[in-house]
Amino acid sequence: MAVRLTILGSGSGGNAALLETDDTRVLVDAGFSGRQLRLRLATLGRSPESLTAILITHEHTDHIQGLTGLADKLGIPVYCNRPTKDAIAWTTKTEFRWNIFATGVSFDIGDITVDTFSIPHDAQEPVGYLLRTVAGNVGFLTDLGHVTKLVTERVRPAHALVLETNYDVKMLQNCPHRPWSLKQRILGRQGHLSNEAAADCAQVIMSDTLRHLYLGHLSRQCNTPDLALHVIQTRLQQIGATHCQANLTSQSTPNSTLTL
For residue 19, give the H/E element and its range. Answer: strand 14-20
- The full DSSP string for 212-239 is EEEEE---SSS--HHHHHHHHHHHHHHT
206: in domain: yes
In angstroms, rounded to a whole number, what is the distance separating the alpha carbons of residues 256 and 6? 6
Q: Can you tell me the distance from the alpha carbon of 148 to that of 194, in angstroms, rounded to the nearest whole number?
A: 15
**What's the domain range around 31?**
4-249
pLDDT confidence band for 37 (50 / 70 / 90) = very high
pLDDT in tens, 88-138: 999 999 999 999 999 999 999 999 999 999 999 999 999 999 999 999 999
Predicted local distance difference test score (pLDDT) of residue 123:
98
- Whether 259 is in a domain gets the answer no
Measure the CA–CA gap between 162 and 154, rounded to whole angstroms.
14
Name the DSSP class of 255. P
Is 168 in a helix, a strand, or coil? Answer: coil
130 forms beta bridges with 115, 139
- Residue at 260 is within a domain: no
For residue 229, CA distances in Å to 75, 212, 216 come to: 39, 13, 11
Q: Is residue 179 part of a domain?
A: yes
The answer to the question of residue 43 being in a domain is yes
Predicted local distance difference test score (pLDDT) of residue 2 = 87
> Is 141 contained in some domain?
yes
Q: What is the pLDDT of residues 129-186, one digit of tens each?
A: 999 999 999 999 999 999 999 999 999 999 999 999 999 999 999 999 999 999 999 9
Flag whether 42 is in a domain: yes
State if pTM tops 0.75.
yes
What pLDDT shows up at residue 1?
Answer: 77
Average pLDDT, the chain: 97
Residue 154: its H or E element: helix 149-155
**What is the pLDDT, as a whole number, of residue 213?**
98
Question: Of all helices (H) and strands (E), which one includes residue 186?
Answer: helix 180-187
Burial 39-75 (b: 16+ CB within 10 A, else e): ebbeeeebebeebbbbbbbbbbebbbbbbbbbbbeee
pLDDT at 251 over 90: yes
Task: Say yes or no to pLDDT of 233 above 80.
Answer: yes
| pLDDT at residue 156, rounded to an integer | 97
Using the 8-state DSSP alphabet, how is residue 189 labeled?
A: T
* Distance (Å, whole) CA 65 – CA 48: 15
Confidence tier at 49 by pLDDT (50, 70, 90): very high
Phi, psi of 138 (to 5 degrees): -125, 125
Residue 257: inside a domain: no
Please check the confidence at residue 75 and state whether its pLDDT lies above 90.
Answer: yes
Query: How many H helices and E strands in the chain?
Result: 10, 14
* Total domains in the fold of the chain: 1
For residue 82, the domain's CATH number is 3.60.15.10
